[in-house]
């Protein structure tokens, strides 16, 4: 769809939400890569999004999750004396009172109020940014600690089923449809040698050793709205992947991405490592935000969350490389293999720093 057509479709969709009133202006907004996002100026400012059905095949279930979680959060925020309009998203119903508008092309649109005087950051500019994101995601866990996680839909099936992803990887190696396995022999052996990493968290959940939680599953810095005046994280956004999971998933993915010393596709692996200073900063913010709602076992497994999420992403990049780069967008030959190698280096670096990572978690948790 061309940009002009997108704007025309968005203009029509915006008018299907009564609270907007007359649309004065509409334009593309933000830096997201999944949904088409627009800023709408009407009787106030609004965020309009066309949901990506290629990623989320059941948009109605996604919106059921979001509406359930945000309604629950609003009650918690109000009870704590907070601002429920700024501290969580507000879903605006369409004219038929559904949480979305379905157009004649079968596209799903949703609308939120714009959170004023706040912005998102794509990169950590200073340590406080990383700390604030940790605090916000920890508080998200804390406020949803008594939400019935099992009632949420799984918006992307098996998203963090690392064991299942390992099996898909083995099948890709066996089939070798592109004849690339020989070129990735060392990488394949790396993941095979660490099969237990693929199983550990899923096994603990199945054995009842860790509780099922409401998890965000995309704990990047740019999914936190930051107040323009205080530079404090005020609201967790992008709730499409909110579903049942483990606290270690959210913590681990944030460390994998945010505490790495290099870009996800860095070719010079000597630059790649897990920054223990940033690891400590995030641990401090996350545990403070969780406010004692994690079990001792969950806390002890936070470093494992970082290792498993890094391992999982590495195996996903390698699987995609073996299949012919069909999922992740690439910008050069061997791009997914480069991405895989950075994750391998991170896993290996975490293994070398394992005792220090565990010690940091023990020190931070005992000092809460």
pLDDT tens digits for range 159-194: 899 999 999 999 999 999 999 999 999 999 999 999
Rounded distance, CA 78 to CA 198, Å? 40
- Mean pLDDT calculated for residue range 83-96: 96
Q: What is the pLDDT of residues 272-286, one digit of tens each?
A: 999 999 999 999 999
Listed residue (73, 95, 93) closest to 85, CA to CA: 73
Identical topology for domains 3-114 and 127-366: no
Mean pLDDT of 232-238: 95
| 4-37 confidence digits (pLDDT tens) | 788 889 999 999 998 898 899 999 997 666 789 9
**H or E, element range at 168:** helix 162-175
The pLDDT assigned to 97 comes to 95
Q: Nearest to residue 68, comparing CAs of 84, 89, 83, 50?
A: 89
pLDDT tens column, 284-312: 999 999 999 999 999 999 999 999 999 99
Query: Global pTM?
Result: 0.92
Q: Check if the beta carbon of residue 54 is closer than 8 Å to that of residue 129.
A: no
The rounded distance, in Å, linking the Cα atoms of 189 and 100 is 46
What does pLDDT average to over the chain? 94
- The pLDDT of residue 1: 58
Tell me if 358 sits within 8 A of 303, measured CB to CB.
yes
CATH of domain 127-366: 3.90.1200.10
Residue (of 168, 296, 156) closest to 218 by Cα position: 156
- Kindly report the CATH class assigned to 3-114: alpha beta
Residue ranges of the domains in the chain?
Answer: 3-114, 127-366
State residue 33's pLDDT score: 67
């Amino acid at each position: 769809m061309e940009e002009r057509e997108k704007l025309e479709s968005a203009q029509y969709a915006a008018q299907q939400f009564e609270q907007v009133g007359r649309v004065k202006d509409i334009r593309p907004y933000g830096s997201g890569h999944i949904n088409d996002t627009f800023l709408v100026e009407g009787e106030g400012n609004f965020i309009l999004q066309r949901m990506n059905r290629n990623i989320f095949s059941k948009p109605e279930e996604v919106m059921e999750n979001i509406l359930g979680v945000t309604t629950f959060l609003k009650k918690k925020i109000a009870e704590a004396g907070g601002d429920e309009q700024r501290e969580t998203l507000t879903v605006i119903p369409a004219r038929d009172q559904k949480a979305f508008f379905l157009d004649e092309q079968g596209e799903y649109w949703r609308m939120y109020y714009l959170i004023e005087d706040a912005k998102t950051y794509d990169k950590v500019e200073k340590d406080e940014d990383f700390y604030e994101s940790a605090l916000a995601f920890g508080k998200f866990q804390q406020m949803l600690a008594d939400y019935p996680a099992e009632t949420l839909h799984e918006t992307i099936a098996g998203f963090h089923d690392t064991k299942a992803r390992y099996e898909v990887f083995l099948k890709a190696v066996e089939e070798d449809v592109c004849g690339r396995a020989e070129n990735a022999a060392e990488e394949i052996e790396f993941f095979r040698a660490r099969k237990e990493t693929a199983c550990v968290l899923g096994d603990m959940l199945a054995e009842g050793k860790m509780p099922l939680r409401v998890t965000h599953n995309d704990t990047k810095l740019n999914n936190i709205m930051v107040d323009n005046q205080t530079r404090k994280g005020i609201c967790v956004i992008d709730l499409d992947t909110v579903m049942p999971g483990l606290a270690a998933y959210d913590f681990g993915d944030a460390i994998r991405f945010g505490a790495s010393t290099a870009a996800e596709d860095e070719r010079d692996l000597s630059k790649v490592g897990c920054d223990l200073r940033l690891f400590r900063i995030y641990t401090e913010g996350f545990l403070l935000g969780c406010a004692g709602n994690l079990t001792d076992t969950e806390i002890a497994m936070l470093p494992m969350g970082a290792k498993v999420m890094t391992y999982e992403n590495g195996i996903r990049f390698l699987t995609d490389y073996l299949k012919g780069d069909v999922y992740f967008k690439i910008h050069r030959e061997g791009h997914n293999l480069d991405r895989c190698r950075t994750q391998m280096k991170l896993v290996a670096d975490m293994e070398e720093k394992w005792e220090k990572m565990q010690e940091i978690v023990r020190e931070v948790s005992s000092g809460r």
